[in-house]
Amino acid sequence: MSISNKLRGLGYLTVPTVVFVVLLLVAAVQAPRLYSVSGIANAILVSAPLILATLSLTPIVMAGRGAVDLSVGPLIGFLNVTLIAWLSGNGITNPILFCLWALVAGAAYQGIQALIVIYVRISPIIVALSGYLILTGVNLMVMSRPGGVAPDWMYSWAGGGEPQIFSPILWLVIAALCLWGLVTRTGFHRQLRLVGADERMAYTAGVRVDLIRFLAYALGGVFAGFAALSYTALISSGDPTQGSTYTLQAVTALVLGGASLAGGRGGATGAVLGALNMFLISYLLGSFNFGSLSGFITSLAYGAILAISLLINVFATQPNSKA
């Protein structure tokens, strides 16, 4: 059996799994503090928003049509600043209301995007780019500069300055993963994969393609709400600009996790692996002293590993021409 056949047999998670194991081994030598209690706790706290942001992209990308939600970063930022400025700033600090606002507003925004894609028939990437620009401006209108304070109960999510492994942030990630697990056991998930893989075939098979696409976007919005809650807990305040940085990171993590940007392939395991790989790359690069070149080296590493992962994933999953 050839190497390519072996790779195809192992599936699309081969590359992110191998990269993850290699990065863990390098971290054990170069940055062993990561394996301490505080190191693991901080890793969970910092990586949680990216894991959830990547998960929010997954159902949307799986729906096909090259739908990559570039507005996910500003959406996280919008939910963050509204939680701080509109809710906390007006004395509304009830945990249930906080969580409901993030999840419902995230789902509503993505639902609007889905309706535009479905009925106005504008390319999803154009809709997403427009959303990115609009939300970037709206965020600055809601909060012109970083400020505000998260409720006391949310501040404690980050350990009150002393991060803990089994913190509410970890349970938030687990809750999101459990939700995805429940989704995978439904007919919706099977139809979502079919729609992303071959929309015409799905339509002729009786699948309600428009409804599946709408639900995929709404589900992505719910996960964006989870990401916004973890991000707000991380910074314990509001920031109208930094949320946008999650767009490029989440898209890169999605590809590193083996998802197909053409649709039909992806999942929570790949999203988590991709996001953790991004975190480990950043963490390891931070352990070296590159001086003023640090930012350039990080971007170079992201780009190189992304390109290599794309090439290997294409090679590993392409059909055997001799079959």
Average pLDDT of each block of 10 consecutive residues along the chain (323 residues)? 43 82 91 89 93 96 86 96 94 94 97 94 92 96 92 79 82 96 94 89 89 96 97 93 89 87 85 93 81 70 73 60 38
Q: Which residues contact 304 (CB under 8 A, 6 or more apart)?
A: none
pTM of the model: 0.90
Say if residues 126 and 65 touch (Cβ distance below 8 Å): no
Residue 301: predicted pLDDT: 75
Spell out the domain ranges in the chain: 38-276
Residue 1: predicted pLDDT: 40
